[in-house]
Amino acid sequence: MGVTIADVASRAGVSKTTVSRVLNGKGEINENTVLRVRTAISELGYVPSAGAVGLARGTTQMIGMLVPDTAWAWAGIVQAVVETLETEGFGLRMLTWNRGEESLRRLGLQVAARSFDGLLVMEPEGAMGYITELHEEGLPVVLIDDRFQRPGFPYVATTNRLGGEQAARHLLEIGRRRPLVVAGPETFGCTRERLDGFLGVYAQAGIEIDRSSIVRGDFQFERCRSAVARAVADGLEFDSVFAHNDPSAAGVLAALHAAGLWVPQDVAVVGFDDVEMASYTYPALTTVRQPMREMGEAAARLLLDHVRGSPKAAPSCVVPTSLVIRGSTTGPSAN
């Protein structure tokens, strides 16, 4: 059983009611008592449930944002969130999700302290249940979802299936009929969406892609490089590769170069995301653009609508992908 409010009360030498008052910031409480309660919370690792905290709206002009880490891949989303919030007179309190239960405890303490009016969430591994509870108890929450999770609260997503379709149509247009797919993690909804969209377009063109032509790279450069190197060594014939993110595609380029294959003359390559590195690879990477900045701005505006209780607040929002064509598919003699 996890740590309870009764455990905190016992450690601090106060009543459960007093702990609740400290969590909610209600009433006149002696500073020493508040310190004892907060010390007990910290020592015990107590994560306040949403029901134990009186969630208030519109009091801090701050928005919380829970992110998996501070990796460069999220820079576009975060920058758009910051700019949008600043325009609306709100600040941003960043929380990272990289220490599991410790991160969850920190989030609980921030919620308990009413440090923000609403919460933006990205990839809350292992915390979706708690995030959902916060929403159900009254905290405005918006998920920035690139994995097709579709929670029971507002989200901003992109069109992963359409992105797969866009990649397939482009490869077919340049005459590539034997693609290799380097897929993301099987557990991610976005992987299934991107794969289904891609395979569907080829099926409509009368081309059934064999499962042996779908390898796993799990969104990682080295795993994708190794997967493609094995495919080449095994004699698998392919004239193109659809990689499920841009670091994967960079791994594909490295493997093809090491095998003495020219891109795009021998093998055309398409990635997904259009992160900054995509334009710096050699050749520059054709990729499906996941609209990071647009998703960040849409998520911030959607959350602010819910924080303000706007009657026009949308339940969710989907921002479409687009194809960015560069040299990895349209270089010399690509057709």
Query: Where along the chain do its domains lie?
Result: 1-46, 55-158+294-319, 160-290+322-330
CB-CB contact of 149 with 122 (8 Å): no
Phi-psi region of 45 (alpha: psi -120 to 50; beta: other; left: phi over 0): left
Angle at 71 (CA atoms; ends 163, 146), nearest 5 degrees: 30
Report pLDDT digits (tens) over 127-163: 778 888 888 888 899 998 866 666 788 999 999 999 9
| Torsional sign, CA 82, 86, 88, 93 | positive
CA distance 272 to 24: 44
Indicate the fold that domain 160-290+322-330 takes in CATH.
Rossmann fold (3.40.50)
Expressed in angstroms, the distance from the first to the final Cα of the chain is: 63
CB-CB contact of 53 with 111 (8 Å): yes
> Is the pLDDT score of 71 beyond 60?
no
Homologous superfamily of domain range 55-158+294-319? Response regulator (3.40.50.2300)
Is there a shared CATH topology between the 55-158+294-319 domain and the 160-290+322-330 domain?
yes
Cite the DSSP H helix spans in 54-159: 75-87, 101-112, 128-136
Report pLDDT digits (tens) over 196-235: 999 999 999 999 999 999 999 999 999 999 999 999 999 9
- What confidence score (pLDDT) does residue 104 get? 72
Can you point out the beta strands (E) in the chain? 62-67, 91-96, 118-122, 141-145, 155-158, 179-183, 214-216, 240-243, 268-273, 286-289, 317-319, 322-324
> Is the pLDDT score of 335 beyond 50?
no
Angle at 36 (CA atoms; ends 31, 41), nearest 5 degrees: 125
The pLDDT-based confidence of 334 (bands split at 50, 70, 90) is very low
| CATH no., domain 1-46 | 1.10.260.40
SS3 319: strand
- What confidence score (pLDDT) does residue 52 get? 58
